[in-house]
């Protein structure tokens, strides 16, 4: 059963969905009318607030502006209203598939009382206004967008609404308390009406109120409604532009010959054949990430640049860099796991020796590529004393600062235009800003060669796959003692894997006592087990980075398969066993799991022959996702048939986006289970180069989905990542039910 909740506290749309669930109603699209997007720049219309070109130096600490409000609190940076009433909302994040270009405008439009059919959105820049309001830096990551900007965008909308009402009150010479708003209109005494577009110019001149009263959630009419994304039509029709599509007059395209081994440098370069390729304008030697060198071929299009690169004759010096070999690395990790290491948890392990039952397990997780559909790219335009960049970036400010350092400019002289991105999963937020710095080095060298033109750096799929910054390889080793009833007496656990944040600006807050917090997130909780957790972070010549759901990509698999194995070995139902361990301390876990169980028919519905149930539940980024899956094994290969999900993310701003994120994350989690979904190295060279040898789930492998959201009126949490971690263990637990053998690695190995 779902937890007791006063449905009157929920937005009306959610009240309807939860009180009288209807598939048709839940899937009903909030269809936007076919309207042309009004480009505000040059449209000749008046707007609410002239866009403030705030000094980039304010990015650190976001100093309060006049009136005591910070740049992140000023409606003028976020809301533009055209004379025809169209409202354009600027988003302070990267849109790369997660739906924030719709979710954030929904939040602002709710408090603005805008007509949703007239709401549009656009991306921001590295301006201080678009920093994360809690972290003070430009950041799209950690599933923080809706969570951290929920109150911010509500207040922005409420402030703009108050200014519009004040402008109407002044025009009508009435008390503002006699006015109300509805769907983009201010309504006054006697039914008088003024559209927001008619009031924008006057409202722009008024002071911005510091304090505003926000709506009661039960009065929401936009938030909580399943809403079609604002970018859906452009993307589905092929009209959406991404960073890769940026074009300027005279623009050149660059590709780079990267070293075969990370960090290698050039011994010799013969570029004569490359320079002879028609369309090639320059060949330049440039410094690369991690002390490496490369050669950039600059041409009047991608194809001549690629042909030029193919014609290069290069010799590499790899003597000074480690040549990683995946097989040898696993041996080294196993040896490390047997040594004393840094301690995260330190419970008493004395009961382990005499425990009635023991479980020994070793888990291996490979490197993983982010493999977004749009490879890395960055366009740079240089002018005297200034630079302008166009990037699909998760951190516009840090990339802008990296560009400034590379180009020897002041950060205020660099403008970053955030572009729509075709995926990222963490790859577009590298602390080194590797591909951005690479693009700036090329632009600088190209200009020095006498070519004064914008330059677009474009990585190929192979560049992207072999270019590094992978989810780290990890090894886990567990020794668990428990009794006949499944009570865990002692759990001794070791993790070996590279630190993601060591050596970066995040080390100070993320690495404590020698342990990277990202490596251990998801361990132990929500299960009250006495655990000793030891961690080793070896240094390896493979660049690593966060990957969608970060540490939970491996910790959830370990925790949820081991908990399931203990339940099976003591002949307990896996769901009942988890509920027992939760006790009364984890109501959100309990609610999410129970919802998935109830909707799936687990334990009640008879499965087809050869199928089995699999269960897993995990919290990451403050949201809980539970899966109940149906799976089978056919011709020696695991098959996932159906996934039922219970999601507890508190208030769902856009239930349709939550559903899409769970589906996408689950498919990504499924991919990690499939044969071939690993990055491996031999003699320092990455062996995978394209989707032919790095597996992602194909449409024929995608299961049916049935996703349900636990109703809540509490402030929303993140949903970009939490759907990924529990999928693989739920699938593995179902396969273990069939084969009788637990799975100890990703991708699955049923041999």
Please report the DSSP string for 645-693 in residue order.
EEEE-SS-S-HHHHHHHHHHHHHHHHHHHSTT--B-EETTEE---STTT
Can you list the residues of the chain whose pLDDT is less than 50? 1-4, 17-66
b/e code 451-476 from CB counts within 10 Å (16+ = b): bebbbbbbbbeebbbbbbbbbbbbbb
Instruction: State the pLDDT at residue 751.
Output: 85
Instruction: State the pLDDT at residue 10.
Output: 57
DSSP structural state of residue 179: -
Whether the bond into 747 is cis, omega within 30 of 0: yes
**Alpha-carbon gap, residue 95 to 419, rounded angstroms:** 8
Angle at 623 between CA 727 and CA 638, to 5 degrees: 0
Q: Kindly state the tokens that stand for 730.
A: 């739920």
CB-side exposure of 165: number of CA atoms within 13 Å? 23
- Cα torsion 691, 427, 660, 526 to 10°: value is 110
The strand pair at 180-182 and 280-287 is best described as unpaired
Angle at 135 between CA 129 and CA 140, to 5 degrees: 75
Domain ranges of the chain: 10-236, 243-320+376-458, 338-368+469-739
CATH of domain 10-236: 3.30.365.10
**Alpha-carbon gap, residue 177 to 648, rounded angstroms:** 39
Instruction: State the pLDDT at residue 446.
Output: 98
Beta bridge partners of 495: 476, 535
Q: List CB contacts of 422: < 8 A, sequence separation 6 or more.
A: 96, 97, 242, 244, 372, 373, 374, 392
The strand pair at 293-299 and 474-482 is best described as unpaired
**Alpha-carbon gap, residue 417 to 308, rounded angstroms:** 29
Q: List CB contacts of 473: < 8 A, sequence separation 6 or more.
A: 326, 329, 333, 364, 365, 366, 367, 497, 498, 542
CB 168 within 8 A of CB 177: no
CATH of domain 243-320+376-458: 3.30.365.10
**Alpha-carbon gap, residue 453 to 250, rounded angstroms:** 6
Tokens 């949703």 sit on residue = 116
| CA 295, 298, 303, 308 torsion-angle sign | negative
Instruction: State the pLDDT at residue 56.
Output: 31
Instruction: State the pLDDT at residue 38.
Output: 27
Nearest to 85 by CA among 122, 47, 52, 123: 47
**Alpha-carbon gap, residue 333 to 336, rounded angstroms:** 5
Q: List CB contacts of 539: < 8 A, sequence separation 6 or more.
A: 498
CB 614 within 8 A of CB 633: no
Phi, psi for residue 606 in degrees, rounded to 5: -80, 125
Q: At what angle do helices 655-673 and 12-19 cross, to 10 degrees?
A: 60
CB 217 within 8 A of CB 10: yes
Per this entry, what is the length of the chain? 751
Task: Round the CA-based radius of gyration of the chain to a whole number and report it.
Answer: 27
Q: List CB contacts of 672: < 8 A, sequence separation 6 or more.
A: 368, 553, 728, 746, 747
Instruction: State the pLDDT at residue 67.
Output: 59
Q: Helix, strand, or coil here: 47?
A: coil
**Alpha-carbon gap, residue 5 to 651, rounded angstroms:** 13
CATH of domain 338-368+469-739: 3.30.365.10
CB 702 within 8 A of CB 670: yes
Nearest to 550 by CA among 451, 634, 472: 472
What does the pLDDT look like over 55-67, one tens digit per residue?
Answer: 232 333 334 444 5
Beta bridge partners of 708: 646
- Cα torsion 349, 355, 357, 359 to 10°: value is 20
Nearest to 540 by CA among 614, 472, 489: 472
Nearest to 525 by CA among 551, 505, 502, 498: 551
**Alpha-carbon gap, residue 733 to 233, rounded angstroms:** 39
The answer to whether the 10-236 and 338-368+469-739 domains have the same CATH topology is yes
Whether the bond into 263 is cis, omega within 30 of 0: no
Q: Helix, strand, or coil here: 473?
A: coil
Beta bridge partners of 316: 266
Question: Residue 205 region, left (φ>0) first, then alpha (ψ -120 to 50), else beta?
Answer: alpha
């Amino acid at each position: 059963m779902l937890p007791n909740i006063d449905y009157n506290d929920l937005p009306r749309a959610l009240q309807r969905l939860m009180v009288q669930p209807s598939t048709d109603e839940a899937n009903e699209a909030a269809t936007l009318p076919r309207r042309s997007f009004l480009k505000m720049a040059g449209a000749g219309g008046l707007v609410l607030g002239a866009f403030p070109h705030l000094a980039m130096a304010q990015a650190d600490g976001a100093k309060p502006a006049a009136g005591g409000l910070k740049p992140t609190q000023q409606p003028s940076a976020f809301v533009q209203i055209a004379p025809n009433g169209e409202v354009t909302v600027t988003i302070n994040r990267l849109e790369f598939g997660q739906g924030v270009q719709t979710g954030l405008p929904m939040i602002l439009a709710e408090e603005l009382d805008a007509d949703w059919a007239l709401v549009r959105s656009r991306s921001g820049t590295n301006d201080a206004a678009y920093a994360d309001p809690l972290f003070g830096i430009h950041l799209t990551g950690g599933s923080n967008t809706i969570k951290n900007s929920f109150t911010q965008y509500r207040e922005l909308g409420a402030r703009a609404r108050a200014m519009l009402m004040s402008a109407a009150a002044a025009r009508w010479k009435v008390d503002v308390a006699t006015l109300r708003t509805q769907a983009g209109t201010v309504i006054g005494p006697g039914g008088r009406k003024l559209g927001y577009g008619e009031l924008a110019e006057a409202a722009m001149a008024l002071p911005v109120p510091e304090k505003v009263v926000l709506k009661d959630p039960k009065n929401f009419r936009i938030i909580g409604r399943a809403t079609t994304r604002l970018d859906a039509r452009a993307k589905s029709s092929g009209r959406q532009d991404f960073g890769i599509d940026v074009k300027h007059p005279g623009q050149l395209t660059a590709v780079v010959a990267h070293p075969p081994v990370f960090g290698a440098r050039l011994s010799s370069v013969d570029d004569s054949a490359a320079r002879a390729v028609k369309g090639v304008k320059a060949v330049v030697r440039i410094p690369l990430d991690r002390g490496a060198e490369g050669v950039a071929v600059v041409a009047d299009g991608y194809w001549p640049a690629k042909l030029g690169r193919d014609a290069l004759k290069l010799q590499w010096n790899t003597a000074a860099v480690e040549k990683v070999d995946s097989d040898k690395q696993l041996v080294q990790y196993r040896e490390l796991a047997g040594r004393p290491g840094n301690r995260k948890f330190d419970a008493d392990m004395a009961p382990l020796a005499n425990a009635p039952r023991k479980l020994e397990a070793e888990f291996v997780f490979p490197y993983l590529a982010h493999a977004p559909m749009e490879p890395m790219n960055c366009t740079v335009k240089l002018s005297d004393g200034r630079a302008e960049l166009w990037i699909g970036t998760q951190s516009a400010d840090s990339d802008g600062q990296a560009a400034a350092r590379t180009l020897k400019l002041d950060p205020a002289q660099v403008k970053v235009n955030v572009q729509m991105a075709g995926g990222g999963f963490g790859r577009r937020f590298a602390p080194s800003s590797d591909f951005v710095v690479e693009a700036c080095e090329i632009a600088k060298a190209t200009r020095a060669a006498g070519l004064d033109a914008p330059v677009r750096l474009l990585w190929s799929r192979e560049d992207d796959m072999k270019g590094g910054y992978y989810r780290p390889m990890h090894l886990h080793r567990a020794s668990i003692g428990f009794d006949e009833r499944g009570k865990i007496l002692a759990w001794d656990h070791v993790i070996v894997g590279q630190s993601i944040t060591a050596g970066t600006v995040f080390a100070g807050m993320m690495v404590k006592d020698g342990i990277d917090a990202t490596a251990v997130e998801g361990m132990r909780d929500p299960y009250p087990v006495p655990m000793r957790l030891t961690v080793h972070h070896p240094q390896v010549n493979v660049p690593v980075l966060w990957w969608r759901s970060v540490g939970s990509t491996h910790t959830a698999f370990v925790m949820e398969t081991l908990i399931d194995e203990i339940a099976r070995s003591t002949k307990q139902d896996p769901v009942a066993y988890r509920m027992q361990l939760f006790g009364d301390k984890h109501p959100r876990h309990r609610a999410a799991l129970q919802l998935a169980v109830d909707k799936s028919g687990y334990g009640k519905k008879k499965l087809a022959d050869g199928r089995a149930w699999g269960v897993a539940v995990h919290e990451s980024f403050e949201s809980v996702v539970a899966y109940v899956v149906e799976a089978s094994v056919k011709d020696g290969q695991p098959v996932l048939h159906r996934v039922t999900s219970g999601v507890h993310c508190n208030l769902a701003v856009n239930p349709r986006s939550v559903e899409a994120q769970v589906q996408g994350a689950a498919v990504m989690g499924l991919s990690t289970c499939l044969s071939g979904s690993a990055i491996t190295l031999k003699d320092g060279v990455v062996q995978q180069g394209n989707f032919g040898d790095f597996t992602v789930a194909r449409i024929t492998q995608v299961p049916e989905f049935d996703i349900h959201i636990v109703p809540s009126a509490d402030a929303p949490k993140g949903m970009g990542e939490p759907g990924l971690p529990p999928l693989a263990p739920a699938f593995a637990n179902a396969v273990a039910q069939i084969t009788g053998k637990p799975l100890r690695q990703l991708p699955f190995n049923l041999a």
